A and B are shown apart, each in its own frame.
Chain A
Amino acid sequence: MGGLQKKKYERGSATNYITRNKARKKLQLSLADFRRLCILKGIYPHEPKHKKKVNKGSTAPRTFYLFKDIRFLLHEPIVRKFREYKVFVRKLRKAYGKAEWTGVERLRDNKPGYKLDHIIKERYPTFIDALRDIDDALSMCFLFSTFARTGKCHVQTITLCRRLTVEWMNYVVTSRSLRKVFLSIKGIYYQAEVLGQLITWLVPYQFAHDHPTDVDYRVMATFTEMYTTLFGFINFRLYQTLNLVYPPKPVLDGTLSVEMFSCAQQKLSALSASLARVVATAEEEENQLDLFPTEGEDQENMQAREKEQKEQEAQKRLFEGLKFFLNREVPRESLAFILRCFGAEVSWDKSLCIGGTYEVTDETITHQIVDRPDMDKQYINRYYIQPQWVFDSVNAQMRLPVEDYFLGTTLPPHLSPFVEEKDGDYVPPEKLKLMALQRGEKPVQEDDEEEEEEDDEEEEEEDEEEDDVDDEELTEEKNLKKMEGTRAQGKTLAVKVTPGKVKPWETGSVGNKVRLEQEEKAEEKRLAIMMMKKKEKYLYDKIMFGKKRTTREVSLTIGVKNGESPKGDKYS
């Protein structure tokens, strides 16, 4: 009778989980090795639903792993390598202690190492799986490549990361896959579309930064080890799809045929050279895809897709034909990368980095990117603009008017392309202007005049404020409010002016067509609303009410002028 009783914690969730220390002992590894193994194999701790059951009655916070995962780990061949490494360290220490230098050399020559290829193949059985996970790998590799080459972390890792990131950037340049850029205070966010996958990654700025102390370097180094392996294989495959030679070689001109590897590597990292191909092809021809309508799709959808594709192709050639020159104080690598991604030619001062193809004095330069308040020597037939023009143009998918970005002007705000506004949400006035530009409206000249007047007013105010030093904060706040007010005024002024302006959809056959389409759509919507059931209509009304409320609030905050009701003070 006693033997057949059901005992507690012998089956169910209590046996499905295992604590970290028990798992470590089962694998006979040290804690650092166990952590490393879990990171490499992609085994993560789990939080059980009923902690008390799993912990056998106690509520002490413990780390739990699934028992089946740990059993799977037992079959891993690199576990043996870890143990061999431990033994190697012990022998080496003994040899050092006994001062047997030949022994030390011999041991060093036979240092045990391991490869991670089979782990990558097991974790990502297909190429697309790996491509989905490349975000993390990219960010880590870019981060590590910006580290200083002191002995703190292996210099080899840093070099490898740098090489991989350069290869990736060259691939993106050659395939023209970059879509969005965002400059933030943390770093630069990029988004590219590779083989149908949207990939976002973050690149820190190149300035020196202090390393925070509460980050575990060993963990990050292990992640990087795994990610560099993954990244390298992905790079190889991507280069294969474009018929490029891997490891990449820059196309060498006749003059540079006797270059050593390091020079070639630097030239690649300069991002100004195009890559050598396996099969020497001529310039890329436009691929005219055959138009086969898929089953069930109408002509309309196909046309829409065609239009999208054409837009994409046009976007890829955004800066084609333009020649840029980067001044010394702008972030060279980022700008070179972006400009080359869209077909431009870039160059820089020879003293900055190798790879600058032409000098400042070249007459055919169309734009020069400068970040100083003013330049002394100015050429007539080129535009001197601030770097934000490039980023904003990429996000707007068109070449923005250069006047807003001249030297010395206050730049328009840099908006985030990763924000998708739904109907009724607050849309910043700059974005509205941008969308108008994209649609083809030109900005009114009077607006510019108004803005100039406002700028003058602001300057006057600033002079006055410089006198009283005590009320600095107050005046700053006032200044801010006034700026926003004038900005808001600018917008409302635009609205005031537009009635006199010619509206595009009131004249011409094109305008008529657009209007008719819109009317049809509105009709259809009204019909659909009438046909809804009572219950559905009730829900629909609720949703619209909520939306209208947000739009009302938004318009209120925009319409705040100086000295109005305190509703606007929420934001100041």
Chain B
Amino acid sequence: MAAVKRLKRVAALQPGFISFKWSAESDDLNSGRRKRVNKNKKKNWNKHSDIQDVEEFLDDVRLQERTTGLCFLCLLEVQERKKGKKSKSRPLRIDLILQHDSLVPPPKDVLAYQQPNAKKLRRIAENAEKLAAMGVLPRRQKLLLNRRPATKTSKAKTAANNFPDRPYYDLWGGEGKFETADPYYLEQTGKSCVKRPEKLNVKPSILPAVEVIAPGGSYNPDFFSHQALLLEAHEVEVMRERAELRIERQLAVKQEDTATEETVFEELVEGLVEEEEEEEEEEEDVSIRGGLQQEKKTEKERKRERADKIKSQQKQAARVFTDKKQQLFQLRSIQATLKRREQRTRERVAQRKANQEAEKSMPRRLGRLKFQAQDLEIQLSDEIPGSLRTLKPEGSVLKDRFKSMQKRNMIEPRERAKFKRRHKVKYVEKRAFREIT
């Protein structure tokens, strides 16, 4: 119990301790004592320090400087300088007290200068110097010097692929290092490379890499070939126009369908006239009566139906039989129809093959976008230059190469990525505008 209880160190915290300070002061309103502030913090320097007198003094000095061009402090300094040595600041008294004023020098501490084996060490050092001067080195140093210089095993800095002076070597000439080794050994040690699948060596398209432009695209073309090229471009434009017109035609509204006053009136009036209602009622009765009549079938009718069915079946069988007999005599025409059919199938097969061949030279659909062929590069008759100097090149080779690669199925058709915003931009009025409205 006594261990649990701890002595309260602070007297003020003992029970029954009456603090006198605060209660006394709190009663008195005009204590006159300032609140204790911690002036160690920078924040409180500005708040709780009174520098009014200093400010006044400085203002005074500035005023004097402004008016007279000199301040009295400067004048004081000047006076002191003129006085000379006497104005030199005297040493402080405390410094004077702390100086040594006895004439007895302090004793030297011999122990501080003593070194065990000093002589021996001195002798060794001198010998070593003499030997070094002659060229004989101690064993340690010899070993150090004989050591090979530490080859900086810096990772071979693989230079970037495209630095301009990169060296080339004979890639196909030298013997492969692994041609003579055992394949099992190579495989197990991970030195052999995986074989490239055969399908990858096939080119993705039969088109040539560089397609030369038609002869009408020469910078000084022959008349007819230029006209032929213009015709081609013209046809492309005609197709485009036709496509646009087709869409317009599909969206077009017939003139007759537009609402006129008459039709509007008719619509409004529909259902309001009484005669029409009666007609509707009659029609309903008729349909109901018709439905009621057909409900019950009599026995007679059923028998008749059965007989009719049998008869028609018999008739059909007879007809089939005679048909089969007659087919003997129709052999020639049957053959003719068969021949026609076969010819049709043959034609279709040929057409399908031709289509397949044509498809090989067409670009394949490889992605989301369809391949858009680029516009033919042509120059109109009045743009054709007379000489090489006045030629303005048409089209961009960069775009041409890009499209050619798409055409040859090497990359999928790409378009420029659009900038999509994830979140809508919130419209916030400027403060100035908010005040106006």
A514 beta carbon closer than 8 Å to chain B: no
Q: Which of B361-409 contact A (CB under 8 A)?
A: 364-368, 377-379, 381-382, 386-389, 391, 393-402, 405, 409
Tell me the total A-B contact number using a CB cutoff of 8 A: 243
Given contacts A136-B209, A215-B402, contact A47 B171 (CB under 8 A): no
A521 beta carbon closer than 8 Å to chain B: no
- A47 contact set on B, CB distance < 8 A: 364-366, 409
Given contacts A157-B162, A160-B162, contact A213 B416 (CB under 8 A): yes
A212 to B387 Cα, complex, angstroms: 27
- B316 contact set on A, CB distance < 8 A: none
B172 beta carbon closer than 8 Å to chain A: yes
Question: Cβ of A156 and Cβ of B164 under 8 Å apart?
Answer: yes
Question: Cβ of B393 and Cβ of A204 under 8 Å apart?
Answer: yes
Question: Cβ of A185 and Cβ of B161 under 8 Å apart?
Answer: no
B200 beta carbon closer than 8 Å to chain A: yes
A369 to B197 Cα, complex, angstroms: 54
Q: Which of B167, B210, B389 contacts A201 (CB under 8 A)?
A: B210
Which residue of B has the minimal Cβ distance to A416?
B215
Q: Residues of A within 8 Å of B, CB-based: how many?
A: 105
B328 beta carbon closer than 8 Å to chain A: no
Given contacts A183-B388, A185-B391, A215-B402, contact A139 B158 (CB under 8 A): no
A182 beta carbon closer than 8 Å to chain B: yes
Report 20 cross-chain contacts, Cβ distance below 8 Å, ordered by A residue: A110-B155, A115-B161, A118-B193, A121-B172, A123-B196, A133-B209, A183-B388, A184-B212, A185-B218, A186-B213, A186-B217, A187-B397, A210-B396, A228-B162, A229-B161, A237-B171, A246-B168, A386-B388, A419-B215, A571-B231
Question: Cβ of B402 and Cβ of A413 under 8 Å apart?
Answer: no
Q: Residues of B within 8 Å of A, CB-based: how many?
A: 76
Question: Cβ of B171 and Cβ of A121 under 8 Å apart?
Answer: yes
Q: Which of A76-110 contact B (CB under 8 A)?
A: 109-110
Q: Which of B160, B228, B411, B415 contacts A156 (CB under 8 A)?
A: B160
- A157 contact set on B, CB distance < 8 A: 162
Q: Which of A128-167 contact B (CB under 8 A)?
A: 130, 133, 135-136, 139-140, 143, 154, 156-157, 159-160, 163
Question: Cβ of B220 and Cβ of A233 under 8 Å apart?
Answer: no
Question: Cβ of B158 and Cβ of A114 under 8 Å apart?
Answer: yes
- A residues near B (Cβ < 8 Å) are 39, 42-47, 61-63, 66, 68-69, 72, 75, 109-110, 112-118, 120-123, 126-127, 130, 133, 135-136, 139-140, 143, 154, 156-157, 159-160, 163, 182-187, 189, 200-202, 204-205, 207, 209-216, 219-220, 223, 225, 228-229, 232-233, 235-237, 240, 246-247, 329-331, 371-372, 386-388, 410-411, 413-416, 418-419, 426, 428, 430, 476, 480, 483-484, 487, 557, 571-572
Given contacts A156-B163, A201-B210, contact A220 B412 (CB under 8 A): no
Q: How far is the CB of A441 from chain B (nearest CB, A)?
A: 21
A571 to B229 Cα, complex, angstroms: 10
Q: How far is the CB of A178 from chain B (nearest CB, A)?
A: 15
Question: Cβ of B163 and Cβ of A160 under 8 Å apart?
Answer: yes
Q: Which of B162, B221, B224 contacts A154 (CB under 8 A)?
A: B162
B429 beta carbon closer than 8 Å to chain A: no
A240 to B155 Cα, complex, angstroms: 32
Question: Cβ of A411 and Cβ of B220 under 8 Å apart?
Answer: yes
B170 beta carbon closer than 8 Å to chain A: yes
Q: Which of B162, B224, B379, B381 contacts A185 (CB under 8 A)?
A: B379
Q: Which of A154, A159, A211 contacts B398 (CB under 8 A)?
A: A211
A402 to B422 Cα, complex, angstroms: 68
Interface string of B197-211 (1 = CB under 8 A from A): 101100010001110
Q: Which of B155, B220, B364, B397 contacts A388 (CB under 8 A)?
A: B220
- B389 contact set on A, CB distance < 8 A: 329-330, 371-372
- A46 contact set on B, CB distance < 8 A: 364, 366
